[in-house]
Structure 1
Amino acid sequence: MRNIWNIFSTDVRKTGTNWIALIILGGLLILPSLYAWLNIKAAWDPYSQVDEVPVGIVNEDIGAEVRGEKIHIGDELISTLKEDNSMNWQFDDREGAMKHIENGDYYAVIIIPEDFSKKLGTVTTGNPEKANVEYYVNEKVNAITPQMTNRGASTIVENVSSQFVSTVNGVIFDLFNQIGVQLENDLPDIERFEEYLFNVEASLPEIEELLSSTLADAENAANLINEAQGLIPRVEVTTNDGLTTIDDTISFLHDAEDRLNEMAPQIQQDLETIQEVTQSTNDFLQDVQDSTIDIGNGNDIAQQVDTQIEDGLERLTTIEDALTQVQEQLDPEQPEYEQIQHSLDQIVSLRETLETVQADAKEINTVMQNAQDEVSTLLDDLKERAQTVNEQVDAFVVEYNDTIEPTVRQTVDEALGTLQQARGILVDIQTTIPEVESILASTDGNLQEGTDTINTVLGEFPYVSTKVNELADRIREIQDEADLQEIIELLQNDPEAEQSFFQEPVTVDETEIFPIANYGAGMTPFYTVLAIWVGGLLLISLLSTEVHHVSNFTLRQEYFGKLMTFLVIGIIQTIIITFGDIFILGVEMAHPLWFIVFGLFISFMFITIIYTLVSVFGDVGKAMVIVFLVLQIAGSGGTYPAMLLPEFFQAINPFLPFTYAIDLLREAVGGIIWSKAIKDMLVLALFGFIFFALGAFFKQPINKHTRKLAKKSRESGLFH
């Protein structure tokens, strides 16, 4: 360990006493940081300077007319670009622009063709055409500027597309809004129509049945009309006959009424006479009963009774005939008919009673001759019957005066009134018959036309039924798929808001998980790692890995002694680099202190790797360090993501120290995830351990061969 320290302390002492060595060492300490700082500053924010890149703009658009309105989108685009500072727009003609781009004055040229507005206007036709712009780029000038000028072309396309889409959609959504308002106003009518259509659909079987029934009824009605037309003559004859019959009946009733008027006094007189007869008979029998009866005069008594009763019977016959004539003029269903029949029955009963009295009177003579004793009994019986007859006659007279005669007169009057009404009805019928004939004829024609129409409707009914069912099913499908109210709400909108929305439909709400201030800060890990490696490369280029002032050290002691010198210088280089990144360049980072610590750790590992390669392999090791540098610049993913690299570099990426060193510094710049940071440190430590072991255990056997190779190469005079 003392020898190792002696080697290190000797290097320090000699360097401190040699001003040339100090100058060279100062350069070695500063140069790596300059490499990092200049590259970081150059890449600080290149895209913020895009507005300095000249891009030519040529407008050849001649405009167009769309639905009677002039449009000139090319002029509108030029006006927009004049207010846009994203690029250094140079407005020129075609000839001048192409000359400038060929000479490298313009990095790109964008030409708006003459049919630009015309093609955009075809959106209102049934065959729209896409508009295009001509884009020319001079890629010879610079490798990066084509990508920047592409941004300019994209800006124009996006600007036109945004303005065009927003304008068109503004018109469309204004129309949608009008449709939505109209739909909302018509919604009750639409709902009523839907309900009506569903009702019609449900009623289709009933409608078909009704049409079929109506057709059958129409055909039956036609037959009935034909029959009715055939019966019209019979109706005329029947009406005429009815009028004749009614007139005859009225005349007869007038005659009957006249006869009743004539007969009424006589009937009244006859009734009174019958009353007198029955009363006289009754008085006579009373006298006979009260006096002594002479049997020999029985014949006279019988003769008197017979004479009086015979007269009464004749008068009853006269009344019966009169009532019978009145009854014949009445309807058996009328109550007056029953009353007259009851009167006739009473007359018949009275007649039978008188005839019985008459018969009994005739028997008086016989009875008187046979037995005087029986006379008294017979007279009593005869008197009783005579009394009954007298009572019946009195009752009939009262009934006739109070009921029969008034009823008969009322019945005759009512019959006359009824017949007069019937006659009026028949006269109306007779008058209406020609009109009925005309109506029947017209109805017959209309029925024929209606029958033809119904047949036509029935013929078309299957088609109509199918269409109604299809329409109802479609409405139900629409109702299932979307609510009309929701459609109205969707259509109703603010056209200006919708236009603004489609002008910029998506806004990016960016959330930076691990924010990086700018492109320079993002590239700081790569250029810092690269500068640390370059610093080690400069050290092996100018400093010797061998001990020249003492020769009694072992190769292992020599390895560790010189390693300490290289490590100290490398650490100082790294301190300058990292402090300069933070305090000179002002790179914003999440963990500046850890950035310095991680940088020192990386320097320790890199110097160990670089020094070991040169110490063990000599000049071959120097070549290996340079090759290793080239591979790591391309394959570590420091500038581009590893997955974008060629397959070879993707394959070697996990085996490169740069890969883990850059990731470790990125953790400090953006924000540390300790699991990743520890993983990167462990892998770097593994690289360092491998090379440390290589130098500690394999330097001596390998040096035997490399020194022979170096001696031989120096003999050629080409190598030192």
Structure 2
Amino acid sequence: MKNILHVFRHDLRRATSNVMAVIVLFGLVVIPSLFTWFNVIASWNPFENTKNLTVAVANTDEGYQSDLVPIRLNVGEQVLSALRANNDLNWVITSEDEAIDGTKSGEYYAAIVLPPTFSADMMTFYSNGSEHTKIEYYTNEKKNALAPKITEQGAGEVSTSINEVFTEKLSEVALNIITSLSGYLDDADTQATLSRLQARVSGVAAQLRAASTTADMFTSLIASSRPLVDSASGLVSTSGDALQDATGALGTGKDAAQSLKDVLTSTTVALGDARSGTADSYQAVADSVDDVFSSMNAQSASSADALGAAATRVQTQIDQHQQLRDTLVNDVRPLLPESAVDSFDRAVSRIDASIARQQDLHDRLDHAATHITDTDADVQAMHAEITGLIANAKASVDDAQSAYTGSLQPKLDALAETLSVIGGDVDSIGSDLSSVAESLSGSDSLTTALEHAESLTTDISSTLTETADRFDALANALTKAMDTGDLSELTEVIGADPQALATHLAEPVSLKRVPVYSVVSFGAAMTPLYTVLALWVGALLISVSIRVDPPQGAASDLPVLTPTQTYLGRFGIFALVGFLQSSLVCLGSVLFTQVQPEHPFLLILTGWVMSLVFTLIVYTFVVTFGNAGKALAVLMLVVQISTSGGAYPLQVLPQWFQNISPFLPATHAVNAMRSAIAGIYQNDFWVSLGLLAAFALPALLLGLVLRLPLIGFNQKLLRALASTKLM
């Protein structure tokens, strides 16, 4: 450290002990400031002087006169009048040939020619097949690079001005016609014209009110639709729950149907078995009864036993049918729908009738067993009665089974099929509800759209109503004017100054510009770029004027130094001159050119960091690569002029420029100085300043470490160049 300070003091003493050295150092300090100040002042506000750019305007408009309104209009003349009062450019009114020839010769920067049909095209824009009015614009792009862009902007302003003049004059002519009606009210043709005008105005008012009513209807429709959309999610959820309940109920119904089918199957089998068993049993009973009555005279006691056995067999049949009847009533009937209950009850009544018939047979057989010893005539009558009862019992059993299989069972089978079809329908409904749920998944965005539409239709309705009111007032004023000749109400509607109303109609909206991080002028906005260029050029001038290798040994009062001591010690004078350069540049920007920075001290601080980093980079290049390092520093300067974003936004530059911009120190230097001049957003100034200072690290790495292997090569290269006596 002692040797490094010794080198710095030695350089400072040598720099101030010689008049020529002081003059050179003074020039090194002042030249960057002159570069920055002159460029900032030259570009301070160049757009204020655009009025010196000469633009020719030629009007060949032949004018227009409508068959409806016998007033001749020349919009081109109105445009020329407006341009004469416009000081944005130096407008020269001339002929078409002179305008075009003057643009070619360079006398005019540009020329604008209004065509002969200009007014006719403007005033018949509403006709079928009409086209946009075209004006011819000639520009001399050879004369200057920026002037065509400025004059083109002026041509755009002319186009805007023409549109405004057209709207204003069209409205003014129409309103002047109404204002001038007082002089023509006594004329019959005027009265007829006023009548037509009043009818047309009233019709327009009615149409506007109808349109307003329609808009109100849409507003009400949209308002009533919003709750429906808001409840869509709940509806889908409720439908899903209902579907699950229906599916559960269907499952229960299917289980019930299966249970019913099983019971009916067993019932059918039981009825079939009962019928078959009854037929066989009753046939056996009939045979037994016949045998008993044929032999009862010989064997009365055994005949009584045989009749008792037959009664027992009949009782067994009665018990089986009663059990079957109970099963149907207790197990089957609760599962049936209302439509099948009547048929079921009729089938059960047939079974009840069969049981009653069999019970009668049973009772009669018991009676016969106890009266077997009666007279022959009574016995034969009893025999005939029992035989009839047996036949009736068999018939009643057959009738019960026919009522079941012929009437009830088909309806129960149809019920099972219906349940199956309902199951398929419920599955289909579930699929439909899923589709509906998906379609309503964006209900939030739909609700927002409906709210916006409701607001829009409300505004439309209000605007239409207000316009209709004005047309009604105009119609009333016209009616009064026709009846009384008094135009006072009409004047109140139009206003005392039709031209003012026409101007308002032509320009209903005014633009208010609100600057964010404003700067005092265009030159102040360009100060960061000019400062970056000046300090980088200043660092190059220092490396050209001051040696990077201090003399050592016996020929000097300096001791033998290491490469590190030589590098750091000699950089001291470079850093000092760079500090003086940046201080003078930034103080001049604050006090001399009056850029009016938001943060003056931060502007000066940015200049100090900028000069330190730039000087270190250029010094390291020259120390490491010799004259090739100076060329490398110039190359970096050329690249940084465009890629730093100091003049043009990076987004409008080629992609390659945008990609390398973050890796160049000038980019962050420009950003930091802009924040100091216009204002800081959050911590953008300190971030940019930190990124700028970070470029000192690779420069130090190159100068202290990577440079050492190249020292011998550079010395040989310098000796070879010196031997040429040219370099």
Q: Could you state the TM-score of these two structures normalised by the residue count of structure 2?
A: 0.56
The one of 73, 76, 82 aligned to 1:74:
76
SS of the residue corresponding to residue 131 of structure 1 reads coil
Aligned residue in 2 for 1:7:
7
Name the CA distance, whole Å, in 2 between partners of 1:718 and 1:106: 51
Do the aligned partners of 2:582 and 2:611 also contact (CA within 8 Å) in 1?
A: yes
Task: Decide whether aligned partners of structure 1 residues 188 and 518 sit closer, same or farther in structure 2, where only a CA change above 3 A counts.
Answer: closer
8 A contact 2:32–2:585 mirrored in 1: yes
Deviation at 1:66, TM superposition (A): 2.4
Which residue in 1 is equivalent to 2:112?
A: 110
Question: Which residue of 2 is the match for residue 488 of structure 1?
Answer: 465
The alpha-carbon distance between structure 1 residues 176 and 12, as it changes in their structure 2 partners (threshold 3 A), is farther
The residue that corresponds to 1:513 in the other structure is: 516
Q: Is the 8 A contact 1:177 1:491 kept in 2?
A: no
- Residue 696 of structure 1 is matched in structure 2 by 704
Alpha-carbon distance change, 183 to 709 in structure 1, aligned in 2, over 3 angstroms: same
Match of 1:132 in 2: 134
For the structure 1 residues 689 and 118, does the alpha-carbon distance in structure 2 shift closer, same or farther, using more than 3 Å as the test? same
CA contact (8 A) 1:120 1:129 kept: no
Structure 1 residue 714: Cα displacement? 3.4
Q: How does 1:212-611 map to 2 (within 5 A)?
A: 487-493=464-470, 499-548=502-551, 549=556, 550=558, 552-611=560-619
Instruction: Give 1:150's aligned residue.
Output: 152
Q: Percent identity?
A: 31
Give the number of aligned pairs. Answer: 433
The answer to whether the Cα contact below 8 Å between 1:29 and 1:569 also exists between their aligned partners in 2 is yes
| Uncovered stretches (5+) of structure 2, i.e. residues with no partner | 179-195, 214-455, 471-492
* In 1: Cα distance, 2:200 partner to 2:61 partner: 35
| Structure 2 residue identity aligned to 1:153 | A
Cross-structure match for 1:87: 89
Superposed, which structure 2 residues align to 1:674-689 within 5 Å?
674-689=682-697
Q: Would the aligned equivalents of 2:212 and 2:464 in 1 still touch at CA under 8 Å? A: no
Instruction: Name the CA shift for 1:486/1:619 in 2 (closer, same or farther; >3 Å).
Output: closer
1:644 corresponds to 2:652: yes
Which piece of structure 1 moves more, 47-56 or 85-94?
Answer: 85-94
Kept in 2: contact 1:176–1:491 (CA 8 A): no
Find the structure with the greater CA-based Rg.
1
Check conservation: 1:664, 1:680, Cα contact below 8 A: yes
Residue segments in structure 1 that go unaligned for 5+ positions in a row: 193-479
Offset of residue 539 of structure 1: 0.8
Q: 1:149 to 1:191 in 2, by over 3 A?
A: closer
Structure 2 counterpart of 1:709: 717
Q: What SS is found at the alignment partner of 1:672? A: coil
Match of 1:200 in 2: none
Instruction: State the alpha-carbon separation in 2 of the partners of residues 486 and 586 from structure 1.
Output: 51
User: What do residues 14-64 of structure 1 show as CA deviations (whole Å, max 9, x unaligned)?
Assistant: 111111111111111110111111111111001111001111111222222
How far, CA to CA, are the matches of 1:616 and 1:533 in structure 2? Answer: 18
Listed one character per residue, the Cα deviations across residues 291-320 of structure 1 (whole Å, up to 9, x for unaligned) are xxxxxxxxxxxxxxxxxxxxxxxxxxxxxx
Q: Distance in 1 between matches of 2:34 and 2:462?
A: 71
- In the alignment, does 2:643 pair up with 1:618? no
Give 1:638 deviation, angstroms.
0.6
Structure 1 residues 654 and 70: CA distance shift in structure 2, 3 A: same
Give the equivalent residue in structure 2 for 1:51.
51
Match of 1:285 in 2: none
Change in CA separation of 1:80 and 1:189 when aligned onto 2, cut-off 3 Å: closer
Q: What is the deviation of 1:191? A: 13
Distance 1:691 1:40 in 2: 30
Instruction: Give the superposition deviation at 1:181.
Output: 5.8
Q: In structure 2, what residue type is equivalent to 1:653? A: S
SS at structure 1 position matched to 2:695? helix
> Structure 1: how far apart are the matches of 2:563 and 2:154?
63
- SS of match in other structure, 2:589: helix
- Alpha-carbon distance between aligned partners in 1 of 2:648 and 2:693, rounded to the nearest angstrom: 25
1:657 has 2:657 as partner: no
Deviation at 1:481, TM superposition (A): 7.2
Q: Is the 8 A contact 1:177 1:492 kept in 2?
A: no
C-alpha separation in 2, matches of 1:40 and 1:129 = 47
**SS of corresponding position for 2:548:** coil
Is 1:672 aligned to residue 680 of structure 2?
yes
Task: Tell me if the contact between 1:180 and 1:488 (Cα under 8 Å) persists in the aligned partners.
Answer: no
Offset of residue 170 of structure 1: 6.8
Query: Any conservation in 2 of the 1:60–1:113 contact (CA below 8 Å)?
Result: yes
* Contact 1:110–1:133 under 8 Å retained in 2: yes
1:22 matched residue in structure 2: 22
Give the CA deviation at 1:136.
1.0
Give 1:613's aligned amino acid.
F
**CA gap 1:27/1:485 in 2 versus in 1, 3 angstroms:** closer
Tell me, yes or no, if the aligned pair for 1:556 and 1:700 is still in contact at 8 Å. Answer: no
1:85-109 Cα offsets, whole Å, 9 max, x none, are: 1111112223333332223221111
CA distance in 2, matches of 1:190, 1:624: 74
Give the aligned CA root-mean-square deviation in angstroms: 3.1
Per the TM alignment, residue 707 of structure 1 is displaced from its structure 2 partner at its CA by 2.3
Counterpart of 1:691, as a letter, is A
Mapped partners of 1:707, 1:28: distance in 2: 27
Contact 1:50 1:86 (C-alpha < 8 Å) held by counterparts: yes
Letter of the 1:617 counterpart: F
Report the secondary structure of 2:112's partner residue. Answer: strand
Q: SS state of the match for residue 111, structure 1? A: strand
Structure 1 letter corresponding to 2:543: I
Counterpart secondary structure, 1:110: strand
1:69 Cα offset (Å): 2.2
TM-score by length of 1: 0.56
Shift of 1:561: 0.9
* Residues 690 and 111 of structure 1, relative CA distance in 2, 3 Å threshold: same
Shift of 1:135: 1.1
Aligned-residue offset at 1:508? 2.3
SS in 2 for 1:123: coil
Deviation at 1:7, TM superposition (A): 1.3
